[in-house]
Every structure is written in structure tokens, then in C-alpha cells.
Structure 1
Amino acid sequence: MPETTPPPTADLTKFLDPLRIPEVLRPGPDGELTVRQVSAEVRLHSQLPPTPMWTYEGTFPGPTIEVRRGERLRVDWQNRVSTRYPALVGHLPEVTLPPAENEPGIDPALLNPAGPELPPWLVVHLHGAVTDGGHDGWTDNAVHTGRSQLSEYPNDQASMTLWYHDHAMGVTRLNVLAGLAGMYLVRDEEEERLRLPSGEFEVPLVLCDRNFATGPDGAPTGHLLHKTVGPLPFCGRYTLVNGVIWPHHAVQPRWYRFRVLNAANSRPFRLHLVDQENRRVPGVVWQIGSDAGLFGTPVPVGGTGLSLAPAERADLLVDFTALGGRTLRLVNSAPAPAEGERIGEDDPVGVPDPANRLPDPEVMEFRVAERADCEEPFALPAVLSPTFRRLSHDDIPHDHGHRMLMIHQTPQNMFEFWEMEEVPAAEVPPPGTVVDGLVQLRQDGQAERTYRRVAREFNDRLNWRIMEDAWEQWTVVNLGPRALHPVHVHLIQFQILTRAACDITTMDRAAGGTPVGKPVTWGTPSVIEPAEQGWKDTVTVAPGELVRIAGQFTGATGKYMYHCHILDHEDDGMMRPFTVSPMAVMALDPSMGDMGGHHH
């Protein structure tokens, strides 16, 4: 295939700047850290002026916090932000074609005047942490400048890649865009026994995208721009890795470990390692873990690439041993918004796709040295985590709870979470009736079940009160014809039990339900890819798909949230609360009954 490297975008040279590695913070002997949220100017590309941002400790991304399993950490998150909101907030008319959202710059008449008035009202969530509700970063518990959020993290969980980011109610997308995100690594003995590449050979890769305002000459000024089209979530033209636009990284011909995080507001990534002619480099990338820890055995990353929706993580091993002297690129082939599309092993990658908001597929460049500094004895382990086990429905205690969650897409293309409860047969309306919030679901060969909506907005009544240490199975059905949603559940790690395509043609989106007798149906479950069989805290649900997950609500109690991790969707209402309480307390208080979580 001929070379298809596109010309530099808006005069920013690709692969000009070296990859930055965030500073590592470790707790002192007292088990405490102070992390300041401060205004800073960060150079995102050497051809741009410094960019005003809100940051953790003056860098973007923030420092990588590293702890050991069982090492309790107390963090004083200090809000010391001293500037007005650093990004311009704009909105294009819905009639504007989506690719215009990727272009730098915006007509000043389309800027939201509320943007500059946004106060630094901040709250930190440690994504993936098992910690009590009071330390989880509840979305309404944000603080102003000069105040602190005090959080305690037990870290009693396996080696895994977590990350911390802002979670303030209604403005999460804007606060994260401003720069408030960083990586957090938990280490344990199981990981150390593998003797994986470490030190300079273990590299965090925090992926995201941004857009910029422009000056009179049309060139980007470095000033952040949050520009969206109609109901489409934010996607920016420029891909950043560790806060550098299209960086390069010098590596040796040896094994490396990469801790990859999709920290974008909404952009999906489907990553491929290619040569200068956009040909895939086969057989050198292995995934050894997902959101919540190591796999049992390594999983090869093939020609279909590595898919990461917002908030998903991947732990990778890459073997550059036979690639000395080569220049390789990491490219993205995922259209935006993602809809769960597959890509073929031989389909072209690294090709601009502006119609699907991917004008620049490049992510970063690897420059492999001719020879390594020293010999390396590393070999890919056959077994990673001896304690890992793959769950099936039969492995879960028989008295586990069940929850039904549906994703509704309105005729105006807004998205809602519907918490559902099953309707007794005697209360089902006559055949043909369509009732707002009433949906029937049927698996092939089984009787249909009827569900009614009991909540759709964040501040509707609290329905899901979960018993401490309980196992639950959550079923999520995406009733919409567009958009893949990454659903993040706070507190727990879970595994995916089922994926299945649904026939959603009977869903009447305008009426908000299915005609009685014409259910949404699903049949034979899809194969769950090996890379999705590990422990996770974020699961993607494609249009017309049913997904079942199972996990145990253990290790902490309190009030938590689950939400879509497309941050525009989360801020627009795709978020709901749940609580976890001790069994004895729930037994004494009838009002805390197991609402909606029937057990069998």
C-alpha cells in the first residue's frame, strides 16, 4: 500500500516533540500525600504558545501516583486554582457538518458567555478505587479555591492501572478538558514475580484529544477550545499522549511495558502499530491486563487492533527486539462517535477519515534504536496471574441480585439511563398498547418479560440499595440505534458474562416503549473477545446490544454512582446513584429494602 501520511495539520509538525513521562509520586512513611490543583501554562507542542490549564501539580497529565497493595493512602487534594476557566466553550449549529467540530477556531458569536465565568469548583474521583463513599469523589461534593478534599484510599486491590480525574456535577467534561486527570498505579507481589519491564521500560501512555482557538492568521493559539455540534459529544482534532501532541518516543530493541489509558472526553481509540507505509507490524503486541488487573494468560493484539473507549485501560507488552533501526507509528482507526464497528484484519488503517471525525489518525511515533544498551533476559510469561479466574453465571452465588438498566435514545438524539423493574403479569396492559417507559424483552426460546421505568434522571428516587458483600448481575440493554456507551460502575470490579445483539426495531422511541406483544428480542450470545474476559470497571454497550456483567459489592460502603464515561453524556444526565449498606442495617430499616434488586 502506498504511503498515505497526510500533511501536517494547521502547521503543527507531527512527531516533532519527545514524549514526556509524568513525575511519579509515592506516599511518605506517614501514608500521606498532598496534591495541589493549580493553574499552569503547559506547552503541548513546541510550535504552540503555552496553553493555560487547570492541573494537578502544574503538569498535564498530573503526576503518576504509585502505591502498594494494602498500603493505605490519605490524599489532601488542595484546590489552589487561581485563574478563570482556561478553555473557550462554543457550540456550532446542528446544521453544521460534524467535521467542522474538528477544525481549530470558532466564530466568537458562537461562544458560550457562561464559559469564562465557570468557577474552579472541583472534586477528585479515583476511578477504579475500592474506597468508602465519603472518599469516592461524590459529584456534588466539589470545593472552591482555598479548600481541600480529604480522601482515604485503602488500596486493598490487585495490581492495576487506575486513574484520577475531576468529577464535579454538570461540568466534569469541562474540568477534565482543562487538564484535571492523572494515572494511579497499584503494585503487588503477584505482578513483581513476573519481572515485567520496569523503570524506563515501563511507560504510561495517557491518550486524549483537544482542540484550539485560532489567531487572525488562522493558526492555533494554544488556547483550549471545547466546541461541539448539536448533540454530538466533544472530539478534538489533536491527539495528545502524556500531554504532548503527536509525540515521538525513542525505544531500544527490547521488550517494553505500556500502561495505556483513554482519558479522552468522548473519543474512542482503536490502536494499531504500523510501519511508514501504514502496514501493520504483526506479532509484537500482547495485552496482559485490562481496567482492573492482570489476565490469566497473555492475549495477542492482532490486526483488528486494541479498542479503548473513554476510561478503559490496557496493560501491554511490546517486543521491539527484531525491529532495531525501524520507525513505527501508533495510529487510530476508530470513527467517532463509536458505534461498535468492527474492522477487518486487512482493512487499511492510518488513513484520514474526516467524515467520521478522524482527520488525523496519527497518535505517536516510536523510533527504535539499532541496538540495545544491554542484553535482556525477558520472555513473555505463559501465566500472568495464577489467581485469575474467569467467571460464568454458575460461579456466582445463587442468591445474587439482578438489576435491569436500559439506554434510551430520544428522538432529539439525547441519551438517558432507564432503571427498570419487572411488571407482574397481571399488570401488563393489553396487546398492542404502547406505554411510556414500558419495554418488553425476550430471549429466544423463553417467555417475554415486561419492565417499567422507575428512574431516568440523576435526582429521581434512589432505587438501587445494595447489600454489602452482595454479588449482583446487571443487565444493560442499549435500545438506541446510534452510539456506543462506556458504562462505568463506581466501587466494584466486574466481569462481562454476556454480549448479545438485540432486535430493537419494535422500540418506539417517540412513545418511549415497545408495543405489548412486540418485545425487543435477543438470541445466541456473541463471543466475548479474550481481551474483554478480564476484570473491568467500564464496559461498552453498542447500539442494539445487551450486555450482562457480574461483580461483588465488597470492600467499602456508602453512596456511589454509575454513569456513561462519554463525559458529555454524563453531564447531560447519563448518571445515577446507588448505595451499599451493611446487611444488619438494611434488615432493621424497612425503607432500605432491596429495591429493584430481586434475588434468586
Structure 2
Amino acid sequence: MVLPFTGLGLPKATGAAAPSRAPGLARKGAVPAVAPVVTPFTVKMPVPQVLQPAQTTATADIYKMVIKPAATEIIPGVATQVLTYGGQFVGPTIRAKTGRAVKIVYGNSLDMPANVHLHGGHTPATSDGHPMDLIQPGQVRLYDYPNKQQGATLWYHDHSHHMEAEHVFRGLHGFYLIDDAAEKALRLPSGAYDVPIMLRDSAFDENNELLFFGDPAERTTILANGKIKPYFQVARRKYRFRLLNASNEHVFKLNLGGETMMKIASDGGLLPAPVPVTEMVLASAERVEIVVDFARYPIGTRLELSNGSDPVLRFDVTKNAYDDSLLPATLRPLPAMPAATVNREVRMNFDLSGEAPVGLVNGLPYDPSRVDFQVKRGTTEIWNVINTDTFDIDHTFHLHLEQFRVIGRNGGPPLPQDQGRKDTVHLPPHESVQIQVTFGDYLGKYVYHCHYLEHSSIGMMAQVEIVP
């Protein structure tokens, strides 16, 4: 639903300069990145604010948010221009409940179109944030999320076609967390001990502004909830951390210096049981949840969460605390899926024959007027998704609307990072993944694409239509 901007109590914002509008891959080498000089672990990692509803009804929570430019302090003592949901970088967190609807009215106070996609959300097509469903400047749009899915760590971000990569890079991203009663009964760490952490790469120019049109390989400054190498004070008790890779194109290999972390959830919610891990591979748009019990460590202990050998965040154990949370041996069953009745192939690669690269899915660039796959509602399918580029370049595959299961990789078994309900999966060079998905109750057109957003922005995206 698109409405005039006036009359809904959403103020028009002014301020920071608008981003440039040229679509396409980042212009490699156009402007060199300048690494900001920051003393590690001198800034506290913030936890994104939980947004409160503007109104509640018997069946829904209603929120209002403005898409607007702002200045924020990413580099200590320096104001950097960003784009935001609600004026915050990272955007405010929405906490939803399974079975209770959330309605969000977004007003666009930018001078260009924008929109919102609930990544991992099972939503009607009209509220999915389709790349061509835009909120024009000065307008508002109502997004309706029924939340007919189990508890999970989702996120929302811009998906306006050709501009999604730049908009997300400049800050249009935030957490959307769904809680459910069955999960609550497990007594996992909650409240202040349930902490969402958005990890992403970034690069800056000589004026300390975010550098989008540069070489993505130079995006070496990692942010944790919008800060560079922050610290986070913890008590001697269990914590639940919800980790999101919100980078446009980056793969994290996360470790806690060899210490064991208990992995409890993937993109679509809880795993059947906790899995002890010492490293986690997290590609762009993937999520993972872990429980860390800091009761094992004396006060004064400092533990670094690192990307390989590069620290991105330090946990400082500072006090004792009562802990009535649990880490059950059994979390949530993963029922068998119905038998697949259709098999499909999805090939992702670049066409480099012209002056500029073009992203392709099954040999074609994205065309919103074309339906690539037509799927009958209620059916289960297997898709073989292949990175067919002849040179070494990563992709990630994201399917809107439904969670899927990874049932194989390169003709063999899935990898540890493929466990559980997924909506995004990593495709390294020359690899393939086999996914199984059931298309449920919603009808309409949805996209699937590479979630290296520079790739989708120049065509590596296609469209599935769910029909009766």
C-alpha cells in the first residue's frame, strides 16, 4: 500500500548528502580506500535499540519508521554520512512474535526511491519488498508481516533494484527477531543476554566517508553493530549471540581464539540440538546463533571474536551474575520434508563480453516482466544451484518467501554451515548446492538472486511465480 507522505505523523528529514545513483559493479580502483586509524577495543559495542510500537491492537503491533539520511560516529570522533531506517546505524530492532502480525509504515524522506525487504520472512508478495515495488520520495508504504513462521533471526534491508547494493552498504539494514512460545519454554538466554550483532565490511575515503565505488577487496574495515573493533562487557553467565553477516560481498570465518561456541540456530531458526564449534563460516546475508558460557572464565578475561586472525570484537568478562538460563540438549526437531515432485537447475554467472559486466541467472539478466519459474502452491521442489563462472568468484544464493534445506553440496553431503533451515547459502567458485523447498500458502511473484548485492544489482536475479 503506497500513500502520500503527509497525515501519518512521519516527519520529513533533511541533512546528509544523497548517494550517487550509477548502477553496476563497484568501480574497481576508482578511488583508493583509506584505512581509518582506530585504537582497538576503546569503544563499547552498542546493542541496536528495540523499536516500540506506535500502536497495538488485539492482533497486531504497528510501527512507524522514516528512511532518512543521518550522520553517525563510526570512526571515533568523526561524523560519517549514512542512510538509515529510523535515523539509526544499525537500524532499530523489531521484536515480533509468531502468530502476531506486525505492520510497519515506512516513510521515504530520501530524494530517491527506496524500499524494504524482510530477509527470511514468510510474507505476502505485496509486502515482500519486491525490487520493483518502490517507495517514492515523499511517500509512505505499509508492510504487513503475518509472522506465520517459527522463531528466527531475520533482518530487513533495502531491495530497490540497481540501488540495493549502495543503499545497504550505506546503512539501510536492521534486525527483525521473531520469538515463539516453544522457544521461550527452552529458557535460552534472554533479555539483556540475548544480543544481536551485525557484522559487515566497510571502506572509507580520505574524508572518512563510506566508499562504495571502490574495490570491494579494500573493504577491510569490519564493523560490529556499526563500530570498529569495539569491546562488549559480559557477566560470568550464558549469552545468546545472534550473528548476521550484512556485508554486500564478504565471507567471515569466525572464531573465539580456539574456544568452543555452541551453535544453536541458522537462518531459519533453532537447530535440532546444539553443535559445538570453534569456527563458523558466515557468507553474506547468512545468520547463525551461538551460546557462549562466560561462567568458564574468571573476571578480567578478555576474549576476541576474530575473522580468521583479524579481531573484530572483544568480550570483556567484568562481573558475576545470576544465571537461570539453560542450554538444552534438544532444541527443535527438523521434520522430514515432503517428497519433491520437480527438479530445477539455477546457474549463476557473469557475462563479460560487453563494456560492463552483466549478471545472469540461467543465461539471462533480470527482467521484472519475465517469470522464470512457475511453481504450484503446496509443492516441494529440488533446485540444483550452480556457480558457473569460469573465473574464481564467490556468490551466495538467496530465495525469497521460503526457508529451504540444503540436501547436498557438489554431489556430496552438506557442509556444517549448511545445517538447519536456510534462506541463503554460500556458493564458492565452481561449486553447486542442492536445496529442497516447499512453497506454502502465498501466491504471487518473488525473486531469487545472488546476495552479493553488487551482483544482483546488475542482473543476477530471477523471478518465481507461485500459482494455485
Q: 1:237 aligns with which of 185, 210, 220?
A: 220
- Aligned residue among 49, 56, 75 for 1:45: 75
How many corresponding residue pairs?
Answer: 427
- Determine whether 1:20 maps to 2:49: no
Match of 2:291 among 305, 317, 320: 317
Give the match for residue 396 of structure 1. Answer: 338
Q: Which residue of structure 2 lines up, in the alignment, with residue 67 of structure 1?
A: 96
Are 2:231 and 1:288 equivalent residues in the alignment? no
Q: How is 1:291-310 mapped onto 2 (pairs within 5 angstroms)?
A: 291-302=267-278, 305-310=279-284
Q: State the one-letter code of the partner of 2:447.
A: M
Secondary structure, aligned partner of 1:134: helix
State whether structure 2 residue 175 is matched by structure 1 residue 211. no
Tell me whether 1:330 sits opposite 2:305 in the alignment.
Answer: yes
Rounded Cα–Cα distance in structure 1 between residues aligned with 2:383 and 2:304: 39
Q: 1:144 to 1:241 in 2, by over 3 A?
A: same
What stretches of structure 2 of length at least 5 have no aligned partner? Answer: 1-33
The equivalent of 2:212 in structure 1 is 226
Picking from 471, 476, 490, the partner of 2:385 is 476
Computed over aligned residues only, the root mean square deviation of the Cα atoms, in angstroms, reads 2.0
Counterparts in 2 of 1:415 and 1:306: CA distance versus 1, 3 Å = farther
**Partner of residue 381, structure 1:** 328
SS in 1 for 2:167: helix
* Structure 2 counterpart of 1:569, one-letter code: H
Aligned to 1:341: none
Alignment match of 1:271 (pick from 231, 254, 263): 254
Please tell me whether residue 143 in structure 1 is matched to residue 135 in structure 2.
yes
What is the deviation of 1:170? 0.3
Counterpart CA distance in 2 for 1:224 and 1:263 is 15
The one-letter amino acid paired with 1:37 is I
Preserved contact between residue 211 and residue 226 of structure 1 (Cα < 8 Å): yes
The verdict on how the C-alpha distance between 1:564 and 1:496 changes in structure 2, with shifts beyond 3 A counting, is same
Structure 2 residue 375 is the aligned partner of structure 1 residue 466: yes
Secondary structure of the corresponding residue to residue 329 of structure 1: strand
> Larger Cα Rg: Structure 1 or Structure 2?
1
- Please tell me whether the aligned partners of residues 130 and 555 of structure 1 are also in contact (alpha carbons under 8 angstroms): no
Counterpart in the other structure of 1:537? 423
1:241-293 superposed Cα distances (whole Å, 9 cap, x missing partner): 1111111101112110001100111121110112xxxxx22x3x111010001
In the alignment, structure 1 residue 417 sits paired with structure 2 residue 360: yes
SS in 2 for 1:417: strand
With structure 1 as the length reference, what TM-score do the two structures score? Answer: 0.68
| Matching residue of 1:406 | 347
| Compared CA separation, residues 466 and 295, structure 1 to 2 (3 A) | same
Per-residue deviation at 1:378? Answer: 3.6
Identity of matched residues, %? 34
Distance 1:9 1:407, change over 3 A: closer
Q: Deviations over 1:212-233 (max 9, x none)?
A: 221xxxxxx332211334xxx4
CA separation in 1, counterparts of 2:255 and 2:286?
16
Q: Which amino acid aligns with 2:64?
A: T
Determine whether 1:498 maps to 2:408.
Answer: yes
2:56 to 25, 29, 34: 29
How far off is 1:66 after superposition?
A: 0.6
- CA distance in structure 2 between the partners assigned to 1:224 and 1:409 by the alignment: 26
* Structure 1: runs of 5+ lacking an equivalent: 1-7, 82-118, 215-220, 275-279, 334-349, 351-360, 420-452, 501-524, 583-600
Aligned partner letter, 1:396: P
Distance 1:267 1:483 in 2: 11
Give, as a single letter, the amino acid of the residue that structure 2 aligns with 1:403. R
Give the secondary-structure state (helix, strand or coil) at the position aligned to 2:212: strand
The separation in 2 between residues aligned to 1:46 and 1:544, in whole angstroms, is 41
Contact kept in structure 2, 1:234 and 1:568, CA below 8 Å: no
Q: Equivalents in 2 of 1:62, 1:529: separation in Å?
A: 32
Q: Do 2:380 and 2:437's aligned partners in 1 also have CA atoms closer than 8 Å?
A: yes
2: CA distance between counterparts of 1:408 and 1:44? Answer: 34
CA contact (8 A) 1:235 1:265 kept: no
Q: Distance in 2 between matches of 1:75 and 1:227?
A: 32
- Rounded to whole Å, the distance in 2 between the matches of 1:185 and 1:561 is 22
Match of 1:588 in 2: none
Distance 1:132 1:26 in 2: 23
The 3-state SS of whatever aligns with 1:363 is: strand
Residue type matched to 1:150 in 2? L
Residue 194 (1) aligns with residue 186 (2): yes
SS in 2 for 1:252: strand
For 1:478 and 1:192, how far apart are their aligned partners in 2?
A: 39
Amino acid at match of 2:226: G
Q: CA deviation at 1:460?
A: 7.3
Amino acid at match of 2:99: G
